[in-house]
C-alpha cells in the first residue's frame, strides 16, 4: 500500500492551517507546515503563525532568525515524519517546499559550497552565464530567460555543475491528494487581507519587530519577510503609520499572486472556495473516502 499524503495549499490568508487542524482530528495523522517564514522562531505575529492548542504543528520554529535556511534544511527536519504516520498533512504556502515532498528535488542533496559562492559573488551576470555555459552548456541552454539573468540561480547551477554528482535519492512515491483553498471574490479577499494586517498590528506586530531588532541585525530581517520590512521602515521614520499598513497590504497581495502563479501550475489540485460555509463537511467527506479507498 502506498503512503498517503494530503497537501493543503493556497495563498496566504485562506485558512489553510485551521482547516488542516480540523481535518487532522478526523484521522490518524501528523501536521507539517511548509512555510518559509514560519520556520523562524520568534517571528510569530507578523507572519501570522498559528500555534494550535491541541495538536502539534511540525515544520515551524525550526531555526533562529539569524540562521541560514533552505528548502533542504526544512526537508531534513520534516522528512522522517512522512513515514511515521499513516497520513502526513502538509499545509503549505511555500510552493517549493511542497514540491520537495510531492515531487522531490534531487539536487537538494548537493550542499552549498561557500568558497565557490564567495568566488562567484563578484562576477557579473554575463560572466556567470559564460562560466556555466563552459561547465555545462546543456544546463545553460535549458534555462529560461528569467533564470539566465538570475545571479542566484546561475550561482547555484554552477555549484551543481561543479559538484561530484551523487546518486540522487529516490523520492518516496505517495498517493497524494492536493486540496487548494482560495477566495473566488478578489474584493473580499483584499478586505480580508486588510483586516488580517490590521489585526496583526493591533496584536503586537510592532512590538514583536522591536524585540527582534534588539536581538538581530535589521538587515537580516528586512529582506526576509513581508510585514517586517514595512514596520522597519515605519520605525525608521521613512513611512508613516498608514503608509506602513498600505505597503504591508500591497506586499501581502503581491505575494498571494506569486503563490497562485505557482499553485495554479500544479495539476490535480482540487480547488475550493475558502468561505464556503460547508467547506469542512465537504472536505472531511472527500478526505475520509480517499483515505479509506
Partner RNA sequence: GGCGAGGUAGCCAAGGUGGUCACGGCGACUGUCUGAAAAACAGUAGAUCUCAGUCCGACUCUGAGCCUCGCCA
Question: What radius of gyration do the chain's Cα atoms show?
Answer: 21
Give, as ranges, the residues between 86 and 145 that touch RNA (CB under 7 A): 93-97, 105-112, 117, 144-145
Interface with RNA includes 69 (CB under 7 A)? yes
Would you say 96 or 284 has its CB closer to RNA? Answer: 96
Q: Which of 22, 61, 64, 73 binds RNA (CB under 7 A)?
A: 73
- How far is C-alpha 230 from the chain's CA centre? 20
The site map against RNA for 8-37 (x = CB under 7 A) is: ----x----------------------xxx
Least distance (Å) from RNA to the CB of residue 177?
A: 22
- Identify which of 286, 292, 283, 287 has the alpha carbon closest to the alpha carbon of residue 15: 283
Interface with RNA includes 51 (CB under 7 A)? no
- Identify which of 292, 247, 273, 109 has the alpha carbon closest to the alpha carbon of residue 186: 273
Would you say 30 or 46 has its CB closer to RNA? Answer: 46
Would you say 4 or 224 has its CB closer to RNA? Answer: 224
Q: Which of 17, 47, 102, 129 binds RNA (CB under 7 A)?
A: 47
Interface with RNA includes 209 (CB under 7 A)? no
Interface with RNA includes 84 (CB under 7 A)? no
Residues 30 and 81: beta-carbon distance below 8 Å: yes
CA distances 145 to 141, 142, 150, 266, 284, Å, are 10, 10, 9, 21, 43
CA-CA distance, 272 to 23, in Å (whole number)?
15
Give the full edge-to-edge strand order of the sheet including 57-58. 57-58, 30-34, 88-92, 3-9, 174-182, 269-273
Give, as ranges, the residues between 146 and 185 that touch RNA (CB under 7 A): 146-147, 149-153, 155-156, 160
Least distance (Å) from RNA to the CB of residue 25?
A: 24
Q: How many CA atoms lie within 13 A of 244 on its CB side?
A: 22
Interface with RNA includes 284 (CB under 7 A)? no
3-state per-residue secondary structure call for 36-73: CCCCECCCCCCCCCCCCCCCCEECCCCECCCCCCCHHH
Q: Which of 25, 257, 270, 282 binds RNA (CB under 7 A)?
A: 257
With CB under 7 A as the contact rule, which of the stretches 20-28, 174-182, 254-262, 266-274 interacts with RNA? Answer: 254-262
Interface ranges with RNA (CB under 7 A): 12, 35-38, 46-49, 68-73, 93-97, 105-112, 117, 144-147, 149-153, 155-156, 160, 223-227, 250-251, 253-255, 257-259, 261-262, 264-265
Amino acid at each position: 500500500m502506498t503512503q498517503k499524503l494530503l497537501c493543503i495549499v493556497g495563498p496566504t490568508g485562506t485558512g489553510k492551517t485551521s482547516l488542516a487542524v480540523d481535518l487532522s482530528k478526523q484521522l490518524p495523522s501528523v501536521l507539517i507546515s511548509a512555510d518559509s517564514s514560519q520556520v523562524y522562531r520568534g517571528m510569530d505575529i507578523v507572519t501570522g503563525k498559528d500555534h494550535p492548542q491541541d495538536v502539534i504543528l511540525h515544520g515551524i520554529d525550526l531555526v533562529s532568525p539569524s540562521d541560514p535556511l533552505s528548502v533542504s534544511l526544512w526537508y531534513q527536519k520534516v522528512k522522517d515524519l512522512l513515514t511515521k504516520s499513516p497520513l502526513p498533512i502538509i499545509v503549505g504556502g511555500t510552493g517549493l517546499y511542497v514540491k520537495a515532498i510531492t515531487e522531490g528535488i534531487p539536487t537538494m542533496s548537493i550542499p552549498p559550497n561557500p568558497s565557490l559562492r564567495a568566488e562567484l559573488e563578484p562576477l557579473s551576470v554575463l560572466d556567470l552565464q559564460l562560466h556555466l555555459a563552459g561547465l555545462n552548456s546543456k544546463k545553460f541552454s535549458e534555462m529560461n530567460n528569467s533564470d539566465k539573468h538570475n545571479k542566484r540561480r546561475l550561482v547555484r547551477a554552477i555549484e551543481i555543475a561543479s559538484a561530484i554528482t551523487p546518486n540522487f535519492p529516490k523520492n518516496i512515491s505517495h498517493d497524494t491528494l492536493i486540496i487548494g483553498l482560495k477566495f473566488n471574490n478578489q474584493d473580499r479577499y483584499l478586505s480580508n487581507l486588510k483586516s488580517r494586517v490590521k489585526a496583526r498590528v493591533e496584536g503586537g506586530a510592532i512590538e514583536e519587530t522591536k524585540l527582534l531588532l534588539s536581538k538581530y541585525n535589521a538587515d537580516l530581517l528586512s529582506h526576509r519577510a513581508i510585514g517586517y520590512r514595512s514596520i522597519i521602515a515605519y520605525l525608521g521614520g521613512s513611512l508613516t503609520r498608514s503608509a506602513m499598513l498600505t505597503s504591508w497590504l500591497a506586499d501581502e497581495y503581491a505575494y498571494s499572486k506569486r503563490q497562485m502563479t505557482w499553485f495554479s501550475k500544479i495539476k490535480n489540485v482540487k480547488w475550493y472556495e475558502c468561505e464556503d460555509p460547508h467547506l469542512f463537511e465537504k472536505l472531511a467527506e472527500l478526505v475520509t473516502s480517499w483515505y479509506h479507498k
